[in-house]
Structure 1
């Protein structure tokens, strides 16, 4: 398969202006934040084609005036540039300068089985409930959820406490288990060098509906077990909401093992 890591500078002010004109500005949790994932979902799809740059990750520079978008794509930067030029609008051009679009190939030949690779990933660790469930949140609030509801993986595990899981769960453990399950067959998670480095509750807008859930960042190391499957995981992303800025594995040098 053909896979490229794409990098593009994003002008945040122009992104917000473009989204505002399109009435795509979506308030986040408590109305205090902006869901830039929704904005970029529409912008990237309209500029490069549906899912052409997906999964993606937006990294915002200190001060919040500029940002860098990273994404995996089947085309290289030149191919993406040519696709965009056929229908580019001035508003899109103001947000993404095509002349500064760059890419680097990610062929499967650069990895090997047993290789340790560091990573940084932003996740939306949610699951679908298999049955109706009732219980309490970590703050003691009573909840009643129907089968099929999308809920925080930590909450879903908490609701099973006392039934098939007598010990109270730990959020980090739950999220790392969730991640390991989704890497299975492609890579193993090295738990001793992997940690939850960021967590918040976040409201996102999906199809005009407000969904509250977890927004987690994990840094760590994985061990490749199947190079082809690993490439497919990179290309597809991890978990739900991958079209909105979640689930992209940014690769790094491996973390140092404790005592190493």
Structure 2
């Protein structure tokens, strides 16, 4: 399967206008990944919406939205031109959408990486395996520590990320925590009496990990790039950004 790296240069004012119209701005949420997910879905449909994606919101510079997709920029532009709402088209600035094909990475290739992740683990709920719940990895680590010293969040998140990269065919040589934030994200809750699924805030941590890895399984690593690291990949987490390795 071919993989393409896409770059959007969205218009912040129009994006906020669309978020507001759709009721996606919530004071109880400090992360707007759900709003960006909804905007991409509105532009391209559920099947074509690029994921994983990463919003790069840098002080003093316009935002960028990077994403991986099995479709190239031309195919996505054609779809948006035919079917997209005009405000959505303008908000994502689709006319300037750029993309490039990603190469394959052979076994033994060393790469630098950066990933923004939401470290969660799935544990049995009150009814055992019939009620599995998703919980913040650091909260679970603290509970397992019991009365002992509290674990170092940098170590917890680095181990969590290393394990998932290993499952995706990559061996980590170096890794460090570059940023951590306790936040609340919006997700669809359980159906209500009307059959709808209201948005509810969910607490947890987001973390940015950077480091160096070596590809050990080329096929598994290609699948990892396309899939992303961990869960919540459709909401701005898990995109693996690559760079030359540090000397």
TM-score, normalised by the number of residues in structure 1: 0.83
Q: Secondary structure at 1:149's aligned position in 2?
A: strand
C-alpha distance after superposition, 1:141-186 (max 9, x if no partner): xxxxxx73322212211211159xx664221111111112211241
CA distance in structure 2 between the partners assigned to 1:78 and 1:4 by the alignment: 11
Q: Secondary structure at 2:51's aligned position in 1?
A: coil
- Report what 1:248 is aligned to: 239
- Report what 2:219 is aligned to: 228
C-alpha distance after superposition, 1:91-149 (max 9, x if no partner): 112212222111111132xx1111110111111001122366xxxxxxxxxxxxxx733
Q: Secondary structure at 2:83's aligned position in 1?
A: coil
CA distance in structure 2 between the partners assigned to 1:28 and 1:13 by the alignment: 21
CA distance in structure 1 between the partners assigned to 2:64 and 2:11 by the alignment: 9
- RMSD between aligned residues: 1.8
- Report what 2:53 is aligned to: 56
- Report what 2:113 is aligned to: 119
Q: Does 1:198 align with 2:179?
A: yes
- Report what 2:138 is aligned to: 154
Residue pair 1:204, 1:211 contacting (<8 A) in 2 also? yes
Q: Secondary structure at 2:46's aligned position in 1?
A: coil
- Report what 1:135 is aligned to: none
CA distance in structure 2 between the partners assigned to 1:247 and 1:26 by the alignment: 23
- Report what 1:179 is aligned to: 161
**Counterpart mapping for 1:82-161 below 5 A:** 82-108=78-104, 111-130=105-124, 148-161=132-145
CA distance in structure 2 between the partners assigned to 1:247 and 1:209 by the alignment: 21
TM-score, normalised by the number of residues in structure 2: 0.87
Q: Which runs of 5+ in 2 are unaligned?
A: 189-198
Q: Secondary structure at 2:14's aligned position in 1?
A: helix
Change (3 A) 1:245 1:28: farther
- Report what 1:2 is aligned to: 2
Q: Does 1:42 align with 2:38?
A: yes
Residue pair 2:125, 2:133 contacting (<8 A) in 1 also? no
Q: Secondary structure at 1:49's aligned position in 2?
A: helix
Q: Which runs of 5+ in 1 are unaligned?
A: 133-146
Q: Secondary structure at 1:2's aligned position in 2?
A: coil
Q: Secondary structure at 1:247's aligned position in 2?
A: coil
Give 1:86 deviation, angstroms: 1.0
CA distance in structure 2 between the partners assigned to 1:206 and 1:38 by the alignment: 7
Residue pair 1:26, 1:38 contacting (<8 A) in 2 also? no
Kindly report structure 1 stretches of 4+ aligned residues shifted beyond 4 Å: none
- Report what 1:215 is aligned to: 206
Change (3 A) 1:131 1:17: closer
CA distance in structure 2 between the partners assigned to 1:248 and 1:198 by the alignment: 15
